[in-house]
Amino acid sequence: MFRRREINALVRSAQDAGSLRRVLKPLDLVMLGIGGIIGTGIFVLSGVAAGLHAGNALPLSFIIAGVVCLFAALCYAEFSTMIPVAGSAYTYCYTALGEIWAWIIGWDLILEYGLAVSAVAIGWSGYCAALLRSAGILLPAPFTHPFGVEGGIVNLPAVLIVLALTLLLVQGTKRSAGTNAVIVSIKLAVILLFIVLSIGFVDPGNWVPFMPPAGWFGVFSGAAIVFFAFIGFDAVVTAAEEIENPQKNLPIGLIGSLVVCIVLYIVIGVILTGVVPFARLAGPDAINAPIAFALNSVGITWGAAVLSVGAICGMTSVMLVMLFGQSRIFFAMARDGLLPSFFSELNPVTHTPSKVILFIGAVTGCIAGFFPLETVAELVNMGTLVAFAIVAFGVLLLRARQPELSRPFRCPYVPVLPLVCIGACAFLILHLGSLAHLMFLIWLCIGLAVYFLYGIRNSVNRKTSECRPNGSVRFTSGAAVTAGGPERVVRPVTGADPGK
Ligand code: ALA
């Protein structure tokens, strides 16, 4: 349960035959990050955060959430350059904390990415229906709502968009990255359009008073909500095995995409609250589309329509990145034997884990089609904050346990920065609802049951490793620790570790 993977062997095994192709460049990564970040959070939740919690201090909420994410990104950067293999926080925990912790974090990330895809698909469907309605095309209610909601049977557009993106991802990573770059360019363009069109309508009188009625509590509650708007940058590291020169390019992708989004969000927050008195953002007309509402309110209706198209594009790329990230976590967990080997088989033509992508697409598509997920954003935030805190803890632990390891990127101000990151994540978790806490615990219990019934028995570590006195585990580099097919053999090391 507490065995750890040995880093050099882990990297070697990922480089062996059967692994993914390194095709992603720095710009692809920044685009991948932005693709995962800008979506429902800014286009929908910014209105909720300003109207109901943070008021004119919305930019402060963005700064707080953004800084927490930046600290987490620096911790991710240290880990991901040290261990540039698929699996993200899951793999880092395997090396720093041990198998059971890796399982918990992997299970947590499956929840985060899966529900994020479903939630964004539902939002996407709502935006699409509204845009078509404004063009005079009415979609039938039974096929735009889940069963039991407003006469609905299935939210068909949500299912179809998830399936379409699933098929795109199966085609191959480079093609997906290319499509993502086009979509991200469109959404950046509409955000810049919003800034240019609305900046002339800012009334500084709207910014008074600056602090919300609930004071700092409102600002922090707003930060706990808009945190959702930053989720997604961590998906960059799930592509670690498909990145050229990951030691150099991963930090660029992680930190670059996050900084671009922090700056854009602060500017949008300032302009939004300057154009519309914040209390109006909580109104029924604004709550689902606050940014388009701001343009409509100053009479630029064509701009609002263009922005809606951009928002739809934005949500599309978020789903693409999240689906991508989830498939790579599954892939890594299955490669380690903690999930059935079926999930780690690569398609020989496209070099993608196509079976797992199709499986995930089907499950998240069903959730999007049949469930009204009101508390999903909170649950997604919960899962992500837990993941960030564990990664920061892992950085501290590995610095103490293995200070001699080569770290191409070093997180600055250790141990202060990771400790602040852990504290800030815990603080934001406390600002989330109790339902999210409860649902998270239930998901965790299900995960532990799966681990003890399947993972612990089939773990590659357990079957093929030799435990060192300190509990870490070595593999020979002669075979890939990939899918569990009969041709893929992993031999325990009996002599010196050649990677040392
Ligand atoms: N950050 C992503 C969004 O806002 C999850 O949609």
For 226-249, how does the pLDDT look when each residue is reduced to its tens digit (9 = 90+)?
998 998 887 777 776 777 777 788
Best CA proximity match to 338, nearest among 483, 223, 165, 210: 483
Beta-carbon contacts of residue 328 (< 8 Å; ≥ 6 apart):
86, 87, 88, 238, 239, 241, 353
What span, in angstroms and rounded, lies between the C-alpha atoms of 168 and 381?
Answer: 27
Burial class (CB in 10 A: 0-12, 13-18, 19+), 316: buried
* Sign for the pseudo-dihedral over CA of 172, 174, 176, 179: negative
Q: How many domains does the chain have?
A: 1
pLDDT at 483: 32
DSSP H or E segment with residue 226: helix 216-226
Nearest CA to ligand 1 atom 3: 39
Residue pair 387/116 in contact by the 8 Å Cβ criterion = no
Quick: pLDDT tens for 144-197.
777 777 777 888 888 999 999 888 888 765 666 677 788 888 989 999 999 999
| Residue carrying the six token digits 């997906």 | 176
Let me know if residue 241 belongs to a domain: yes
Report CA(264)–ligand 1 centroid distance (Å).
14
pLDDT at 439: 86
Nearest atom within ligand 1 for CA of residue 231: 1
Report CA(317)–ligand 1 centroid distance (Å).
10
Let me know if residue 500 belongs to a domain: no
Confidence class for position 272, pLDDT limits 50, 70, 90: very high
Query: Is 491 a residue whose pLDDT tops 60?
Result: no
Nearest atom within ligand 1 for CA of residue 380: 5
Report CA(393)–ligand 1 centroid distance (Å).
25
pLDDT at 374: 56
Residue pair 219/61 in contact by the 8 Å Cβ criterion = yes
Best CA proximity match to 113, nearest among 367, 309, 314, 341: 367
Quick: pLDDT tens for 33-71.
888 889 888 887 888 889 888 999 999 999 999 999 999
For residue 146, the cross-strand partners are 153
What span, in angstroms and rounded, lies between the C-alpha atoms of 114 and 375?
Answer: 14
% of residues, the chain, pLDDT over 90: 23
Average pLDDT over residues 98-127: 84
Higher pLDDT: 3 or 102? It is 102
% of residues, the chain, pLDDT over 70: 84
* Sign for the pseudo-dihedral over CA of 202, 227, 422, 91: negative
- pTM for the model stands at 0.80
User: Which tokens sit at 487?
Assistant: 């041709």
Nearest atom within ligand 1 for CA of residue 116: 5
Let me know if residue 498 belongs to a domain: no
Let me know if residue 95 belongs to a domain: yes
Nearest atom within ligand 1 for CA of residue 43: 4
pLDDT at 11: 67
User: Which tokens sit at 424?
Assistant: 């800030």
Higher pLDDT: 275 or 250? It is 275
Higher pLDDT: 422 or 414? It is 422
User: 307-316, 432-441, 460-469: which has the minimum mean pLDDT?
Assistant: 460-469
Confidence class for position 471, pLDDT limits 50, 70, 90: very low
Domain CATH for 275: 1.20.1740.10
Testing ligand 1's pocket by substitution, the residue of 32, 40, 127, 319 carrying the most ligand atoms inside 8 A of its CB is 40
Burial class (CB in 10 A: 0-12, 13-18, 19+), 153: middle
Phi first, then psi: what are they for 492, rounded to 5°? -70, 145
Lining ligand 1 with CB less than 6 A are 37, 39-41, 116, 120, 228-229, 231-232, 318
Report CA(288)–ligand 1 centroid distance (Å).
14
Rounded to the nearest integer, the mean pLDDT of the chain is 80
Domain that holds residue 239: 7-464
Report CA(274)–ligand 1 centroid distance (Å).
23
Query: Is 283 a residue whose pLDDT tops 90?
Result: no
Q: In 10 A of CB 496, how many CB atoms?
A: 8
Let me know if residue 476 belongs to a domain: no
Average pLDDT over residues 64-90: 84
Report CA(231)–ligand 1 centroid distance (Å).
6
Best CA proximity match to 49, nearest among 285, 332, 323, 273: 273
Let me know if residue 56 belongs to a domain: yes
Let me know if residue 59 belongs to a domain: yes
Let me know if residue 98 belongs to a domain: yes
Report CA(121)–ligand 1 centroid distance (Å).
11
In one-letter notation, the amino acid at residue 483 is A
User: Which tokens sit at 342?
Assistant: 């079926």
Testing ligand 1's pocket by substitution, the residue of 32, 61, 165, 228 carrying the most ligand atoms inside 8 A of its CB is 228
